[in-house]
A and B are shown apart, each in its own frame.
Chain A
Amino acid sequence: MTPITGTKRKVVLGLGNILNRDEGLGIQALRLLEPRSGDFPEFEFLDGGVLGLNLLMLVEECSHLLLLDSVDAKKPAGMVIELSKEKIPLYSGIKMSQHQVTFQEVLGLANIRGNLPENLYLIGIQPEDLSVGLGLSVRVEEALPQVVERAIAVLNNWK
């Protein structure tokens, strides 16, 4: 329970499962953003997959953390959704069970431990198709460039 001190990491973290189409849009967005990584040498661009609790250490080591993820905001599919630090729910109380460690719970745990990244931001898209398969739905695919553009704006702001 020791707060982390010393050098902090700056990370862009793609989340999701690429085998369930739009569920993996965060990873696809990350891949689209990576060619621009040269403009942001102090940032790491990482594929967090669906590693759950295994990502806690990484999260706690960050001073800046930009999340790219699919977000169910009950909006039309393909809508880009942005959440600043204070708007990201740190855990979903009702749906959560003690062992389904979603990424929100990872953030909640980091918060309780006093290690939530100082700068935290989420850019996501409302998904449409979560079935088994590799490609994205058309509406999500079309929204990806907008996510990349917004991500670059956020990173420039954090420079």
Chain B
Amino acid sequence: MAQRIVIDPITRIEGHLRIEASLDATNKITAAYSSGTMVRGIEKILVGRDPREAWAFAQRACGVCTTVHSFASIRSVEDALGIKIPKAANLIRNLMIAQQYVHDHVMHFYHLHALDWVDVVSCLKADPAQTSTIQQQISSWPNSSPSYFKGIQNKVQAIVDSGQLSIFANAYWGHPAYKLPPEINLLAVAHYLEALDWQRDATKIHTIFGGKNPHPNFVVGGVPMPIDPNSDTALNAERLSIINDSIEKMIAFVDQVYLPDLLAIAPYYLEYGSVGEGLGNFLTWGEFPGENNSDVSQFLVPRAVILNRDLSHIEQPDPRDFARMQEFVSRSWYNYNGGNDKGLHPWKGETRFNYTGPKPPYDYLDVEKQYSWLKAPRWAETPMEVGPLARVLAMYAGGHEQTKELVNFILSSLNVPITAVFSTLGRTAARAVETKVFADAMRVYYDDLVAEIKAGNTKTFDDSKWEPTTWPLHAEGFGYMEAPRGALGHWIVIEGGKIKNYQMVVPTTWNGSPRDHKDQPGAYEASLVGHTLAKPEWPLEVLRTIHSFDPCMACAIHMIDANGDKVSETATGLDICFR
């Protein structure tokens, strides 16, 4: 192979998100349409398989977020078969799930969302001494000297000089909507780079509990790692101490870097406290079970539906409710046997493709007809937002003290009213609030786990229902999971020991859904209406709001101006996975 060739390793994207938006004469968005342009079809792969191995396939439905699909899958089987996992196993799972939140949200903030607010190239103009002063004012983080920030500047300068902006390339540097002073840009860039090193410590928990990393192991009935203080291959004192250290480092970064940075950046973008709301309806399946993994009343994050911003009333949604939990396909590229105007509960769900869109490459989708590979999940025929804002509102409305304190602290620090939570800024702040809540919860789960081990309760796996001979002929289960991006559900039907039906309703399907049988928009679609774009050919404002949802797909944005001409087509990856 001596010849030189042009290569392009296949892009790793699980689905593409496409936004089509209409602008009026003042460059204000009047309507938006969200489309998933790549089909998934994982459900078809799972039918006929052993339910105990479903997680190993389901986890690949999203390239990056393998953990959440694995948990949702094994929980669906446990629910169907009535398996109660041991307490130590539940604590270990809670630690893994909390770790995932902290890791994911920090990386989202610095490596995805920050680039919408932080002008990386501008940091070269900063006075490192001033950045140092700011850092020392906002937190006690040790990396705060002028020479430290000068060093960061030099590194960015070297990257710029090399012509390889790499991961920083293709952002809209110099866009007039960037408002931060160079000194705060430098601060954020420094923490962007630090977060890459920080994740080394943050991922140790998964390596230990999952037995390996990447792609840790999961098991229906508990966790695969046994606990044995005297064994080299089990969870022992040495490994526990590594976990303890990892938790400390995660909490320190959240307290001393993430939260202070959020509060340092937000004052420059307060106008985002009144745009980007979307629906005002929120849904969570809930997360962090107590001793009994199926007892919803013990969840840290309540299972909740909030309608029309009304925080005085939360309803508990039942995922088994055939009349309310439904997916609609009247605007999606699927066919239902009983007609496309009716919704189907996921246990009765169908995955039959019916592409009626234009032949690629195309300029526009026919948004008046079917225009997405995403179905439209609805609760009681109403579109819902899922994700950090939904969870924080559920905890806030449910009376969780720490959540209320954090929300009120941020509102008063920024001097904005409570209504500001229903916005792009509110969604972004909610992500930081729950990161803090879940990071602190890890400390509690860890202490509880150590107490269990000391008490001799070292069982981590319930094998009573492992053999298919112990299963009923027919069983249906629901696997909940609050993924970092929002409520994830796996609905499984088991018959004769095999999977008869399997449907996932993933967070990005809720948030990125197309319109439905009643022409109601999904969360992305609703949230974009009203944004005014400074430079429509660089739709940065759209990215800020779409990124605040943390979508799980790559994105191509189409802008249509008042005359119907295409203004820009920007291949803009929103994220690298689909869930």
Contacts and interface: CB of A to CB of B under 8 A. Distances in A.
A120 interface: no
Nearest to B39: A132
A19 B9 contact: no
Interface string B198-242: 011001000000000011000000000000000000000000000
Interface string B17-51: 00000000000000000000001111011000000
Interface stretch (B394-402, B417-425, B529-537, B570-578): B570-578
Given A70-B9, A72-B8, A101 B576 contact: yes
A134 B45 contact: yes
A97 B571 contact: yes
A91 B166 contact: yes
Interface residues of B, number: 54
Interface string B92-115: 000000000000000100011001
Interface string A80-106: 011100010111110111111111110
A114 to B, nearest CB: 10
A152 to B, nearest CB: 17
Contacts of A133: 45
B578 to A, nearest CB: 10
Given A91-B166, A112-B159, A98 B573 contact: yes
B5 A75 contact: yes
A94 B68 CA distance: 32
Contacts of B39: 132
Nearest to A93: B169
Interface string B544-562: 0000000000100000000
A17 interface: yes
B554 to A, nearest CB: 5
B506 interface: no
Contact of B164 (A51, A73, A108): A108
B193 A69 contact: no
B166 A2 contact: no
A97 B574 CA distance: 8
Interface string A50-70: 111111111000000000011
A109 B111 CA distance: 12
Interface stretch (B55-63, B286-294, B452-460, B495-503): B55-63
A11 B60 CA distance: 21
Nearest to A97: B573
A87 B209 CA distance: 38
Given A47-B214, A56-B196, A109 B166 contact: yes
A48 to B, nearest CB: 6
A155 B167 CA distance: 31
A89 B199 contact: no
Interface in B141-186: 155, 159, 162, 164, 166-171
A112 B576 contact: no
B63 A52 contact: yes
A81 B8 CA distance: 12
A51 B64 contact: yes
B563 interface: no
B111, B169, B171, B571, most chain A CB atoms within 10 A:
B169
Contacts of A109: 166-167, 196
A92 B8 contact: yes
A1 interface: yes
B470 interface: no
A127 B40 CA distance: 19
Contacts of B166: 90-91, 105, 108-109, 112
B197 interface: yes
Given A1-B155, A56-B196, A97-B571, A90 B164 contact: yes
Give the most central of A18, A54, A101, A105: most B CB within 10 Å: A54
Contacts of A18: 60
Contact of A132 (B40, B196, B571): B40
B207 to A, nearest CB: 10
A1 B554 CA distance: 28
A89 B166 CA distance: 11
A52 B475 CA distance: 36
B86 to A, nearest CB: 28
B54 to A, nearest CB: 13
Contacts of B12: 16-17, 50, 52, 100, 102-103
Nearest to A61: B200
A151 to B, nearest CB: 14
A93 B101 CA distance: 30
B45 A17 contact: no
Contacts of A23: 10
A49 B1 contact: no
Contacts of B168: 98
Interface in A110-129: 111-113, 124, 127
A29 interface: no
A50 B64 contact: yes
A55 B214 contact: yes
A132 B44 contact: yes
5 tightest A-B CB contacts, nearest first? A50-B63, A100-B573, A97-B573, A132-B41, A50-B12
24 contacts: A17-B60, A23-B10, A50-B60, A50-B63, A50-B577, A51-B63, A53-B107, A71-B10, A72-B9, A73-B6, A87-B4, A93-B169, A96-B170, A97-B170, A97-B571, A97-B573, A98-B115, A98-B170, A100-B13, A100-B575, A101-B167, A102-B9, A105-B167, A108-B166
Interface of B: 1, 4-14, 39-42, 44-45, 57, 60-61, 63-64, 66, 107, 111-112, 115, 155, 159, 162, 164, 166-171, 193, 196-197, 199-200, 203, 214-215, 554, 571-577
